């Protein structure tokens, strides 16, 4: 028995036991077996196969012996009946020697030998002559016939077992299990595990420290006087960035050195597509400012990479690591200089596309930066995480295995239904385990109404109730112990079909409107009785989907049915002729703004006037082209 601490996850503990204990080690239990006077190295599977075949052969020999015994018993009983019923014992009278008696009896049996299954031997005749008179006088013909019929039935059964020896051997093993298996039940559980990465289930048993100025980092005792970074395990990988933009991924150790001037260090998760790095860096000593968003999924360990373009004397001005693809807004203050109109500019990372780690990024500006201030913490730009449920291992995954449950984000929940007529609400953490009784997993919607039919064994009636699932991570029983689940649906507008049997078999089937039959209450409610007749079947009938509109049918937009033109619209003959326009090189007329659907030149979008203001100064002065790079 393993006691899990209150602040530890039992699901994570199960995975960790599988990853770090001997149950994940493959053992080859080969054994040396003497077979046909020769040694053979066999695996457990081959040993079991040969042992089962040997047991099957022994059972066949036992059946053959049993069949021979039954045939001998039938032969002896048949001879005895013929001997007594036909009074062949009277032939012994007058015989002076045993040989004469044996010959007389054998001659008397001659007309009946065709009824027997084998020849009559001298030993058979001797047994007949040795029958005592009291047995002959008390011989019961009916009892003897019953014994012979029973022997014949046993012979047929034995012959059937010999013809189906494999099935007989299986039944033999089952009888042994039933007879001797009580108290020796299997205590372990056979279950298929999903792929488990040790780094994901390892407990955080160490603390990561960093000396940014000197370039050292590690989890050893010698680093405890340095800056604390985070908790980690002793098998984690860490990613380390320098101020110049170089970075490396390495296995955590007691103490390691990368380069002086460490800018960022953290635990690295391989193949993580949702952790996004937002970076603003200067390309070279006096180069332009570049901005980029990228994911670092999987690279070679202990190999140095560069998140910038690799230009010497580049510098990271700002970087954030976002585990769920968040995009913040920065307020950037430029160094004042002539003709620079906007000294403060907002940088919204959500406007940038997420690219590969080797991309150089987009140009932000060519001016020097005075300082950078975080204006707003953004939300995730990755959308939700698509989750699948693998019924074989009863685990969630994002790899597309099993049944797709949809896209999840934020506080979305799952509802889990079990075969014990219970349900509970849980999150979409990929590390959780589901009980063995799980029969269905789906997205939890607080307003979804479930219509359920069940049979009350105590009152012997069928009931229906409608309820919404309550938000609780504990098991909720929606049926009593004396109730049998029949069917359920979560479709609005469904109907319930009822067919009858027994004395009411001639009654026509009924259809009940589920939404009107009973109101929505708690899952603890008993519900409403459906009928007092004998029910043959209950079945929910879901409504047919609404037909899609036909694209070819014209919309009712007030058109005149005579010519299909809207009311009040003039015909082409009544409109004034448009002036001729010059043609394009292709020969087609250039459409007017009204024909293309564009607003006239004097129109304003949304009814609000706007204009572009020129900078103040001389009429010949224009905006510095370099300022355009700010946007």
pLDDT tops 70 at residue 237: yes
Name the pLDDT band for 11 (thresholds 50, 70, 90): low
Instruction: Calculate mean pLDDT across residues 2-28.
Output: 64
Instruction: Calculate mean pLDDT across residues 232-256.
Output: 92
76-80, 155-159, 290-294: segment of lowest average pLDDT? 76-80
Query: What CATH number should be reported for the domain whose range is 202-376?
Result: 2.120.10.90
Name the pLDDT band for 617 (thresholds 50, 70, 90): very low
> Percent of the chain having pLDDT more than 70?
79
Q: What is the DSSP string of 189-226?
A: ---PPPP--HHHH----EEEEEETTTTEEESSGGGTTS
Q: What confidence score (pLDDT) does residue 463 get?
A: 95
Mind listing the pLDDT tens digit for each residue in 300-331? 889 999 999 999 999 999 999 998 889 999 99
Q: What confidence score (pLDDT) does residue 205 get?
A: 76
8 Å CB contact between 441 and 430: no
Q: Hey, do 44-179 and 202-376 end up sharing a CATH topology, with the first three levels equal?
A: no
Longest dimension (CA), the chain: 162
Name the pLDDT band for 538 (thresholds 50, 70, 90): very high
Q: What confidence score (pLDDT) does residue 604 get?
A: 36
Greater pLDDT, 452 or 272: 452
Mind listing the pLDDT tens digit for each residue in 129-158? 878 777 777 777 888 888 889 999 999 999
Q: What confidence score (pLDDT) does residue 594 get?
A: 40
Place of tokens 């009712």: 556
- CA atoms within a 13 Å half-sphere pointing along the CA-CB vector of 297: 8
Q: What confidence score (pLDDT) does residue 571 get?
A: 42
> Which three-class secondary structure string do you get for 133-148?
HHHHHCCCHHHHHHHH
Greater pLDDT, 298 or 300: 300
pLDDT tops 80 at residue 531: yes
Q: How far is CA 374 from CA 275, 328, 347, 377, 578, in A?
A: 19, 8, 10, 7, 58
pLDDT tops 90 at residue 93: no
Q: What confidence score (pLDDT) does residue 579 get?
A: 41
Instruction: Calculate mean pLDDT across residues 245-258.
Output: 93
Strands 246-251 and 305-306: antiparallel
Q: How far is CA 361 from CA 136, 309, 346, 390, in A?
A: 114, 9, 17, 39
pLDDT tops 90 at residue 13: no
Closest CA to 388 of 374, 407, 401, 371: 401
| Token representation of residue 72 | 């001998």
Q: Residue 474: helix, strand or coil by DSSP?
A: coil
183-197, 211-225, 441-455, 539-553: segment of lowest average pLDDT? 183-197
Mind listing the pLDDT tens digit for each residue in 324-369? 889 999 999 999 888 888 899 999 999 999 998 889 999 999 999 9
Q: Which CATH number fits domain 44-179: 3.40.190.10, 2.60.40.180, 1.10.3720.10, 1.10.268.10?
A: 1.10.268.10
pLDDT tops 90 at residue 510: yes
For residue 354, list its beta bridge partners: 293
Q: What confidence score (pLDDT) does residue 137 get?
A: 75
Q: What confidence score (pLDDT) does residue 113 get?
A: 83
- Going from N- to C-terminal start, the domains of the chain cover 44-179, 202-376, 385-541
Mind listing the pLDDT tens digit for each residue in 429-487? 887 888 888 999 999 999 999 999 999 999 999 999 999 999 988 999 999 988 999 99
CA distance 431 to 28: 30
pLDDT tops 80 at residue 541: yes
Q: What confidence score (pLDDT) does residue 196 get?
A: 55
Q: What is the DSSP string of 346-363?
A: EEEGGGSPEE-TT---EE
Instruction: Calculate mean pLDDT across residues 277-290.
Output: 93
pLDDT tops 50 at residue 575: no
CA distance 289 to 311: 12
Instruction: Calculate mean pLDDT across residues 405-421.
Output: 90
Mind listing the pLDDT tens digit for each residue in 16-70? 666 666 665 666 677 888 888 899 888 888 889 999 999 999 999 999 999 999 9
Planar angle of CA 564, 570, 574, nearest 5 degrees:
125
Q: Residue 126: helix, strand or coil by DSSP?
A: helix
Q: What confidence score (pLDDT) does residue 305 get?
A: 93
pTM: 0.53
Q: What confidence score (pLDDT) does residue 191 get?
A: 63
371-385, 458-472, 499-513: segment of lowest average pLDDT? 371-385
């Amino acid at each position: 028995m393993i006691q899990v601490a209150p602040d530890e996850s039992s699901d994570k503990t199960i995975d960790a036991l599988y990853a770090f204990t001997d149950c994940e080690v493959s053992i080859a239990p080969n054994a040396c077996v003497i077979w046909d006077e020769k040694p053979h190295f066999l695996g457990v599977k081959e040993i079991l196969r040969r042992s089962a075949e040997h047991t099957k052969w022994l059972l066949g020999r036992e059946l053959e012996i049993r069949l021979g015994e039954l045939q001998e018993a039938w032969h002896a009983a048949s001879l005895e009946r013929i001997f007594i019923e036909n009074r062949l014992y009277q032939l012994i009278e007058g015989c002076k020697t045993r040989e004469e008696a044996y010959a007389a009896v054998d001659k008397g049996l001659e007309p009946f030998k065709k009824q027997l299954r084998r020849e009559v031997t001298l030993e058979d005749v001797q047994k007949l002559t040795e029958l005592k008179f009291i047995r002959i006088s008390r011989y019961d013909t009916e009892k003897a016939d019953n014994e012979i019929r029973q022997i014949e039935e046993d012979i047929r059964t034995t012959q059937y077992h010999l013809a189906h020896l494999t099935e007989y051997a299986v039944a033999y093993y089952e009888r042994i299990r039933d007879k001797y298996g009580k108290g020796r039940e299997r205590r372990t559980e056979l279950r298929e595990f999903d792929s488990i990465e040790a780094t994901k289930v390892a407990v955080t048993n160490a603390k990561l420290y960093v000396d940014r100025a000197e370039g050292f980092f590690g989890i050893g005792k010698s680093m405890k006087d340095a800056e604390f970074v985070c908790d980690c395990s002793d098998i984690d990988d860490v990613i380390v960035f320098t101020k110049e933009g170089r970075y490396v991924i390495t296995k955590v150790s007691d103490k390691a050195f990368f380069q002086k001037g460490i800018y960022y260090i953290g635990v690295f998760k391989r193949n993580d597509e949702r952790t996004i790095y937002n970076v603003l860096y200067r390309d070279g000593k006096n180069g332009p400012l570049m901005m980029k968003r990228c994911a670092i999924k999987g690279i070679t360990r202990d190999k140095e990479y560069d998140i910038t373009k690799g230009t010497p004397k580049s510098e990271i001005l700002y970087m954030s690591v976002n585990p769920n693809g968040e995009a913040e807004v920065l307020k950037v203050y430029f160094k004042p200089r002539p003709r620079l109109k906007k000294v403060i500019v907002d940088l919204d990372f959500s406007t940038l596309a997420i690219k590969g780690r080797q991309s150089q990024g987009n140009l932000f500006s060519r001016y020097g930066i005075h300082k950078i201030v975080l204006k707003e913490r953004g939300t995730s730009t990755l959308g939700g995480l698509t989750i699948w449920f693998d019924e074989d291992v009863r685990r969630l995954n994002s790899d597309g295995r099993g049944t797709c449950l949809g896209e999840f984000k934020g506080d979305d929940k799952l509802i889990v239904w079990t075969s014990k007529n219970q349900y509970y609400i849980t999150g979409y953490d990929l590390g959780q385990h589901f009980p063995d009784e799980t029969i269905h997993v789906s997205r939890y919607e607080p307003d979804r109404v479930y219509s359920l039919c069940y049979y009350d064994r105590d009152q012997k009636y069928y009931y229906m109730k409608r309820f919404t699932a309550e938000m609780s991570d504990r098991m909720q029983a929606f049926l009593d112990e004396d109730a049998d689940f029949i069917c359920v649906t979560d479709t609005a507008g469904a109907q319930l079909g009822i067919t009858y049997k027994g004395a009411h078999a001639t009654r026509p089937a009924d259809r009940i409107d589920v939404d009107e039959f009973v109101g929505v209450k708690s899952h603890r409610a008993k519900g409403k009785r459906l009928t007092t007749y004998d029910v043959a079947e209950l079945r929910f009938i879901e409504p047919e989907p609404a037909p899609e509109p036909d694209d070819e049918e014209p919309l009712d937009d007030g058109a005149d049915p005579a010519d299909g033109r809207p009311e009040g619209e003039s015909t082409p003959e009544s409109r004034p002729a448009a002036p001729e326009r010059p043609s394009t090189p292709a020969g087609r007329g250039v459409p007017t703004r009204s024909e293309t659907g564009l607003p006239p030149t004097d129109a304003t979008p949304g009814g609000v006037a706007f204009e572009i203001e020129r900078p103040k100064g001389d009429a010949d002065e224009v905006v510095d082209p370099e300022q355009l790079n700010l946007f």
